[in-house]
Amino acid sequence: MNEAPSTENAPEFTGRPAAVYLGSALLLAFFLVLVFAWRDNGQRKTLETTAELTAVGDAHYFPMPPVPAPPVEPPFPAVAAFHGQSLYLADYRKHTYQPDDMTRVGVTDEGGYIVYQAPKREKDADERKKGEMYYLRLSPLEYLKTRVVKAGQEEKEAK
């Protein structure tokens, strides 16, 4: 009566075929994930690109031009070229802006300095009539205001 049950007569596990199919499917899915991850990793440079549109992270500072002896009056000299047009100093003052307020608009033709635009304010409307204003970065928070002088404007400013 105290006999151990015989394992030879035990019925076979009924879920075995389903378990084998499920295990095979999971192994195949894992293999496919590995293949796609390896393929995407090889194309990382083309799939993942970023572009910074503000001055954050720019450490290529424009050298401040020497300030002439007083009195300093317009017309001021051209300090750089942008899209084939000369950028003239608007003044010799350093203007303070937060890096995330400045918008990147391009690079100078020579020197590779990044050109920025400040947020537009209504009080600057008269300034903008003299020509489009651009800024060159001097230090982490300081910028040099420049402008593209419109045709015929140089003679008016000289008078």
SS3 label, residue 89 = strand
- The pLDDT of residue 18 is 92
Looking at the predicted structure, is the pLDDT value of residue 144 above 60? Answer: yes
**What pLDDT score does 45 carry?**
83
Q: Which runs of E-coded beta strand occur in 46-159?
A: 78-82, 85-96, 103-107, 114-117, 133-137, 142-147
pLDDT in tens, 91-134: 888 999 999 999 999 999 988 899 999 988 877 777 777 778 89
Using the structure block, give the residue that is written with the tokens 């049950």: 5
- Neighbouring C-alpha atoms within 13 Å toward the C-beta of 159: 5
| Residue 141 banded pLDDT, cuts 50, 70, 90 | very high
| pTM for this prediction | 0.65
pLDDT tens readout for residues 18-71: 999 999 999 999 999 999 999 988 888 887 888 889 999 888 999 988 888 777
Distance CA 117, CA 120 (A): 8
Which of 2-16, 66-80, 81-95, 124-138 is predicted with the least confidence, judged by mean pLDDT?
2-16
